[in-house]
């Protein structure tokens, strides 16, 4: 990792004390920014935007030009791996990601291509151009979806309240499901490793749908593979910190603590006071309710941010939302969140 001008995030992830907690926001580059909407009108297709490195760099840097953030996250999507596997990913307005050729049988799993990295070079090129543009200003976060989350979309064909098709395949064809998860685990490790080689300073794994799994499947279908990914990445890249975000309840947060990552990202649905009390020394990321960013009253942002800061207490913390920032979030509210963190830290200094 090269020397950074602002290294609060990396210092925090490495267990060092900083002047204040680092701040970045999931989906900080995106639809709530008017400058992003200009690009969106010019290039309507989402994946086309993702596959143009210069455009990705421009979009990635947009929030840093507006806000005093402590990290950049590469503009991309968690579904790049299954898209590279030829499942025909499209993003439909008002519906989200849809796969034209979802997995419908164990035989379809056997037929999946083994090489995906050659179709993901646009991500690595974008990381290189973005790092050059950042010029060591802040760390750059690379990321991937978790094997379970990727497989859920690949089998269901789109987002779902229950991912019932994916769960059904897990229960009716467990061997095939684990074959898919093992394959995706290899791809995620290779993909994240290539992002690091391209210049990513931090890697984040999004287990967005871990909470959809029943208790009897959570460990074997999600947690075990997360452990394997982080362990392998740590072995290959011992100086690159990893963050795991999983939208799960408190009992499963306790299970997440077994993962050897440097930080755990928490959903806003989890009681941060409870987690911090049990894990005072663990680096925790989150978990401000993203709904406050769309509220009419900025006091809601102040209240939610202070609630988060007080819950973190003296423990190592990364200030973030509990989920991605929404398209109707207000620009001024982002400034308010950041200023609240700065003022709180200054008052405690």
**Residue written as tokens 């701040």?**
23
- Spatial distance between the Cα atoms of 186 and 184, rounded to a whole number of angstroms: 5
The average pLDDT across 292-306 equals: 98
In this model, does residue 307 exceed pLDDT 90? yes
- pLDDT score, position 1: 52
The average pLDDT across 222-250 equals: 97
The average pLDDT across 200-212 equals: 96
Per-residue model confidence as pLDDT tens digits over 171-199: 999 999 999 999 999 999 999 999 999 99
Q: Residue 94: pLDDT band by 50, 70, 90 thresholds?
A: confident
- pLDDT score, position 177: 98
Numbers of helices and strands, H then E, in the chain: 16, 9
- Residue 58, phi-psi category: left (phi > 0), alpha (psi -120 to 50), beta (remainder): alpha
Partners of 244 in beta bridges: 205, 264
Per-residue model confidence as pLDDT tens digits over 138-158: 999 999 999 999 999 999 999
- pLDDT score, position 42: 97
Per-residue b or e along 309-340, where b marks 16 or more CB atoms closer than 10 Å to that residue's CB: bebbeebbbbbbbbbbbeeebbeebbebbbeb
Cβ count within 10 A of residue 117: 15
Residues 6+ apart with CB under 8 A from 344: 305, 306, 309
Q: What percent of the chain has pLDDT over 70?
A: 99
Q: What percent of the chain has pLDDT over 90?
A: 96
**Residue written as tokens 């064809």?**
173
* Contact between 156 and 163 (Cβ < 8 Å): yes
- pLDDT score, position 106: 96
In this model, does residue 240 exceed pLDDT 80? yes
In this model, does residue 28 exceed pLDDT 80? yes
Q: Residue 274: pLDDT band by 50, 70, 90 thresholds?
A: very high
**Residue written as tokens 């008052």?**
347
Catalytic positions are 27, 31, 40, 77, 153
- pLDDT score, position 199: 98
In this model, does residue 170 exceed pLDDT 70? yes
- pLDDT score, position 2: 61
- pLDDT score, position 349: 84
Q: What would be the CATH architecture of the domain defined by 8-284? A: Alpha-Beta Barrel (3.20)
Rounded to the nearest integer, the mean pLDDT of the chain is 97
Write down the domain spans for the chain.
Answer: 8-284
């Amino acid at each position: 990792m090269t020397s950074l001008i602002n290294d609060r995030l990396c210092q925090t992830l490495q267990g060092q004390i900083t002047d204040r907690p680092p701040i970045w926001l999931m989906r900080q580059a995106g639809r709530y920014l008017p400058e992003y909407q200009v690009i969106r009108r010019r290039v309507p297709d989402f994946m086309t935007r993702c596959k143009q490195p210069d455009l990705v760099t421009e979009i990635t840097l947009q929030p840093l030009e507006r806000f005093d953030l402590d990290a950049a996250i590469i503009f991309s999507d968690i579904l790049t791996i299954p898209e590279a596997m030829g499942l025909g990913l499209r993003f439909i307005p008002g519906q989200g990601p849809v796969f034209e050729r979802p997995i419908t049988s164990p035989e379809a799993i056997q037929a999946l291509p083994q090489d995906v990295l050659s179709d993901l070079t646009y991500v690595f090129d974008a990381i290189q151009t973005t790092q050059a543009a950042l010029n060591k200003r802040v760390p750059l976060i690379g990321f991937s979806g978790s094997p379970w989350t990727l497989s859920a979309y690949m089998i269901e064909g789109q987002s779902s309240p229950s991912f019932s098709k994916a769960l059904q395949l897990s229960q009716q064809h467990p061997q095939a499901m684990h074959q898919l998860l093992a394959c995706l685990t290899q791809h995620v490790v290779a993909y994240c490793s290539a992002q690091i080689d391209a210049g990513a300073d931090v890697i984040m794994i999004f287990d967005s749908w871990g909470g959809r799994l029943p208790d009897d499947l959570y460990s074997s279908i999600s947690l075990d593979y997360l452990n394997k990914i982080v362990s392998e990445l740590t072995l290959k890249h011992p100086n690159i910190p990893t963050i795991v975000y999983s939208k799960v309840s408190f009992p499963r947060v306790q299970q997440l603590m077994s993962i050897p990552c440097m930080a755990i990202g928490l959903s806003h649905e989890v009681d941060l006071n409870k987690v911090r009390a049990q894990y005072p020394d663990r680096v925790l990321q989150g978990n401000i309710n993203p709904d406050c960013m769309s509220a009419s009253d900025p006091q809601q942002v102040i209240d939610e941010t202070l609630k988060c800061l007080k819950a973190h207490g003296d423990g190592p913390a990364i200030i973030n939302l509990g989920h991605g920032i929404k398209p109707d979030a207000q620009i001024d509210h982002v400034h308010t969140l950041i200023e609240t963190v700065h003022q709180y830290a200054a008052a405690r200094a």
